[in-house]
Amino acid sequence: MKAEIRNSLYEQAKEWILEAGARIRKQMRDPLVISIKSNPQDLVTTVDEETERFLAGKIRELYPDHHLISEEGFGDNLNSMKGTVWLIDPIDGTTNFIHQRRNFAISAGIYHDGIGEIGLIYDVMGDCLYSAKKGEGAFKNEERLPQLREGAMLERSVLAMNNKWLIPNPVVQVEKMEELIRTVRATRTYGSAALEFAYVAEGIVDGYMTIQLSPWDIAAGIIIVNEVGGVTTNVFGEHVDILKKNSILVCNKKIHGRIVNDFILEGKK
C-alpha cells in the first residue's frame, strides 16, 4: 500500500474510532441491554452491536470496495485476505465493559493483500489510543513507543495470562504452566486481549499468552507490537493465520523462545 493511501486511511479510521468511543461513553449512561451468546461467560450488549453497526456503515459508505471481518455480525464472510480488509472488534473486553465500566477497547486492524498496514486500539474510558502504521513505529497517543528491551530475562518478566491455563486444556499440561508461573516475576490478567497486546507494545508487560483468540481480537495488536520489535505466534511458535482462531503468544524476542521451548513444547499434549 502506498504511504499516502495508508496515511489518509489511518486519519479516517482514527477519526471514526474516536467518534465510536465517544458514542460508547454516551450510551453507557443508559442501562445496558445484555444478551448471552454461547454461554454465560460469553456476553454481548446492544452497545457492542451499535458500535459495530456504526463503524461498518462508515466503511461501507466511504470504501465500498473494502472488506470487513468483525465479531458481532455486520462483517463479510471472507476466506481470503486479498484487497483491503478491516478487522474490527467493536468492544474488546465486553465482560469488563459490563462489570467494570472500564478496561475495554475498540480494536481495528487494516490489512492490504494480507499485510498489516494500520493498527488502532482505543482504550475508551482511559481515552488512550495505541496506534501504528506499517514501518512508521507505534504510538501511545502522540508519544512514540520505544523498541522493546531485548535484555529482559523470563525470570524478571511480567506475563499477562489468565487462569484458564491452570484448568486442564487441550493445548498444554497444567503442570508446565504452574512451572511457568513460578518462573516469571509476576502474572497479570486484564480481560481485554487488545489492551494486553497494547501493554506488550508499551513494555509494561513483557508478554501475553492466551489459549484461543479470533481474528478481530489480534489484528490491530499484531501490527502495533510488530512496530516495536515484538513477535506474535501461536503458543507453539508457529505462524498465525489471521483468518482463523489461534492460540497466541506475543512478547519480546528474548522470552519468546524460552516460553515456547521450555514450557509449551515440553508440556505439549
Q: Which residue from 49, 52, 71, 202 is in contact with Ca ion, where contact means CB under 5 A?
A: 71
Considering only the stretches 62-70, 113-121, 174-182, 188-196, report the one whose residues sit in contact with ligand 2AM under the rule CB under 6 A: 188-196
User: Is residue 41 a contact residue for ligand 2AM (CB under 6 A)?
Assistant: yes
Shortest distance (Å) from residue 71 CB to Ca ion: 5
Q: Does 103 bind ligand 2AM (CB under 6 A)?
A: no
Binder of residue 175, out of Ca ion, ligand 2AM, none (CB less than 5 to 8 A by kind)? none
Position 196 contacts Ca ion (CB under 5 A): no
For residue 90, the minimal CB distance to ligand 2AM (Å) is 8
175 binds ligand 2AM (CB under 6 A): no
By CB under 6 A, which span of 10-18, 62-70, 191-199, 246-254 interacts with ligand 2AM?
A: 191-199
By CB under 6 A, is residue 193 in contact with ligand 2AM? yes
Spatial separation of the C-alpha atoms in residues 255 and 104, rounded to whole Å: 27
Among 15, 42, 178, 241, binds ligand 2AM (CB under 6 A): 42
Question: Is the Cβ of residue 88 or residue 184 nearer to Ca ion in the bound state?
Answer: 88
Binding flag, residue 49, ligand 2AM (CB under 6 A): no
Q: Which residues bind ligand 2AM (CB under 6 A)?
A: 41-42, 71, 89, 92-94, 162, 191-193, 213-214, 217
